[in-house]
Amino acid sequence: MTPRVSCAVWNMAMRINWYCKLIILAGMLLVASAAQAQSNRRTSEKDYSFKAREIVSGKMMELSELTADKPLVLHVWAPDCPHCQRHMPYLASLYKKLDLEKVNFLTYSVTGQIHDAKSFLEKRNLDFPTICLSNGSFSKDLKDGGWPNTMVIGIDGKLVGSCDINGPTYVETMEKLVEKALEDYAEIQSEDEGEDEGENTGGSSWFED
């Protein structure tokens, strides 16, 4: 082998070695990026779980059950909160507009005892189903948004959105959040039905003639 050919072979080997290192480095960066993204998702997910008895009926209320087949509208408030008191008429308007066949509705009184929440609601002729801090177990994330605050939680137990507007636009904003939650629910249902259909037909393509 002549020196010129030997040099060319060596140069080619060096290029191949460089490309291999570049490919390995790119792969490592992709893996690291995916791991970071997964970590970010885990840390950004909030825990909105609770288990408590409704203050009038005594019925047990639990997030997993209330979001099993429909979204949940959950309003966080306190009987001794002036902002919550001023906000109640807007919440009452929203409650009247909600289709309770499609969504669940619950309020969570984060301060005081059961009788405080009961007295507040009775004086205003409000019949919201309500759970109270002193009558159950609640995750800390439920109060992270402060109060008054209304959350829409999807059927997967994750937050669709929240609204703390204390004014006329509150109802419209909440209706849009509920609509989004229902659309998400319909999409999940459609995907589940598609998977069931694929299993029943032996995994055949949906697009076969």
- Contact criterion met (CB below 8 Å) for 145 and 58: no
* Mean pLDDT score across all residues of the chain: 83
Domain extent listing, the chain = 50-196
Domain 50-196 CATH superfamily: Glutaredoxin (3.40.30.10)
Residue numbers in the chain where pLDDT is lower than 70: 1-44, 192-209
pLDDT in tens, 76-86: 999 999 999 99
Query: Which of 66, 82, 81, 79 minimizes the C-alpha distance to 151?
Result: 66
pLDDT for the residue 12:
64
Lookup result for tokens 């059927």: 155
pLDDT for the residue 133:
93
